[in-house]
Amino acid sequence: MSSYDVKINNQFYFWLIFCLLLVFLIIIIGGLTRLTNSGLSITEWEIFKGVIPPLSLQSWEVYFDQYKKIPQYKILNQNMNLNEFKIIFYWEYFHRILARLIGLFFFIPLVYFYFSKKININYIRICYLVMFLILLQGFVGWYMVESGLFENVSVSHYRLSIHLFIAIIIISSIFWLILNFKENKNKTFFNFNKSSIFFLILIFLIFIQIILGAFVSGLDAGRIYQTWPLMNNSYFPDDVNLNKLNELIDLNNQSIVQFYHRNLAYLIAMYVFILSIYIYKKNLKLLFKPMKILLAILSLQIILGILTLILGLNIYIASTHQISSVLLVFSVINLYYFRAK
């Protein structure tokens, strides 16, 4: 390999790392935007004109007047003044600016790496998929915001979960590509064989848990039953009739969504514990370190989840809980990677 080839490959690797960090950052800011109820502060999509924030009092009043027209202001924030509006505006503004930056930062170097002809074409194809998902994410983001502009005081938790799930798929794809590039391999993510199926099941459970976490966030379901290990004085929420199937599958119900989120966490913890025993009994030494990392991050995630609940949704702990969920995704993918063929 020539020095030029080495240079291009190093550029590609560090580009992927930086893209991963940018997507990680926007997930953090997106979570804080939701926690601060800031996501509806900008009521138009503004693909181009929203790049520059308001610079005059008149511009600020235009944005504030638009916000005053939606149910969130009329029902929840009628006493909000302009300075308070600026706070929630800037959370959403930085979220949108970073999204634009990610799109440009991913697209322009991708064109360069494609025409260089020095990067494995299989890696470039994965990048095409990621680029498509980034573009799709922009449309889904507006689709989510739109759900809170007319009849509701917040965005649809279903659309919020789609928005978050696409972000997790994007960051997971980049992380997998980084692992492949670092190991100089071309492992396929969905490799359904006997040796890896149980690891894929774990990834599936983690993804479902993240979706449920988005439901909890979107419904503000963490604001009820702020006790642990019981939900008030019982294992099951006392406002749900267990004899009615429609109530058990009602994902608009705060209580049942929190119940499922709690119990899937227990299931995941038990599954990881059994999987770790299997790894050590089979003496799969290559997986020892990845499993230890997974156990540490999973333990942290569970502790943060409990603290988020019992401390009344402290924004710093709640945000750290969301951040650690991404680290959990990394750790379980890392474990699976060294098992995949």
- List the pLDDT tens digit at each of the 341 positions of the chain: 567 678 888 899 999 999 999 999 999 999 999 999 999 999 888 777 778 889 899 999 999 999 999 999 999 989 999 999 999 999 999 999 999 999 999 999 999 999 988 888 999 999 999 999 999 999 999 999 999 998 888 999 999 999 999 999 999 999 999 999 998 888 888 877 787 899 999 999 999 999 999 999 999 998 889 999 999 889 999 888 878 888 888 899 999 999 999 999 999 999 999 999 999 999 999 999 999 999 999 999 999 999 999 998 889 999 999 999 999 999 999 999 998 87
Q: Residue 320's domain spans which residues?
A: 187-341
The CA-atom distances, in angstroms, between 212 and each of 66, 71, 118, 164, 215 are 32, 25, 41, 11, 5
What the block records as the tokens of 57 is: 């009092």
Which amino acid, residue 192?
F
**Measured distance CA(147)–CA(152) in Å, rounded:** 7
**Residue 268 and residue 205 in contact, taking contact as beta carbons nearer than 8 Å:** yes
Identify whether 71 is preceded by a cis peptide bond (ω within 30 of 0).
no
Tokens 């917040």 found at: 154
On whether residue 176 sits in a domain, the answer given is no
**Measured distance CA(330)–CA(52) in Å, rounded:** 34
In this structure, the answer to whether residues 109 and 38 fall within a common structural domain is yes
In this structure, the answer to whether residues 130 and 11 fall within a common structural domain is yes
On whether residue 325 sits in a domain, the answer given is yes
Left (φ > 0), alpha (ψ -120 to 50) or beta: where does 232 sit? Answer: left
Q: What is residue 55's three-state secondary structure?
A: coil
In this structure, the answer to whether residues 88 and 205 fall within a common structural domain is no
Q: Say how many C-beta atoms besides its own lie within 10 A of residue 80's C-beta.
A: 16
On whether residue 118 sits in a domain, the answer given is yes
Q: What is residue 72's three-state secondary structure?
A: helix
In this structure, the answer to whether residues 123 and 21 fall within a common structural domain is yes
In this structure, the answer to whether residues 199 and 277 fall within a common structural domain is yes
Q: What are phi and psi of 254, to 5 degrees?
A: -55, -45
pLDDT number for residue 184: 87
In this structure, the answer to whether residues 338 and 212 fall within a common structural domain is yes
pLDDT number for residue 330: 97
In this structure, the answer to whether residues 257 and 336 fall within a common structural domain is yes
pLDDT number for residue 1: 57
In this structure, the answer to whether residues 145 and 201 fall within a common structural domain is no
On whether residue 299 sits in a domain, the answer given is yes
**Residue 196 and residue 339 in contact, taking contact as beta carbons nearer than 8 Å:** yes
Domain boundary among 156, 176, 205: 156
Cβ burial, residue 137 (10 Å; 0-12/13-18/19+): buried
The CA-atom distances, in angstroms, between 122 and each of 169, 190, 280 are 18, 15, 34
In this structure, the answer to whether residues 89 and 199 fall within a common structural domain is no
Alpha helices in the chain (DSSP H): 3-35, 57-67, 71, 82-116, 121-146, 157-183, 197-219, 245-248, 254-281, 288-310, 315-337
Which are the contacts of 276, defined by CB distance < 8 A and separation ≥ 6? 291, 295
Left (φ > 0), alpha (ψ -120 to 50) or beta: where does 331 sit? Answer: alpha
pLDDT number for residue 153: 85
**Measured distance CA(164)–CA(96) in Å, rounded:** 14
On whether residue 170 sits in a domain, the answer given is no
**Measured distance CA(249)–CA(254) in Å, rounded:** 12
pLDDT number for residue 260: 95
In this structure, the answer to whether residues 132 and 4 fall within a common structural domain is yes
On whether residue 274 sits in a domain, the answer given is yes
At how many degrees (to 10) do helices 197-219 and 3-35 cross? 40
* Domain count for the chain: 2
Q: Provide the whole-model pTM.
A: 0.94
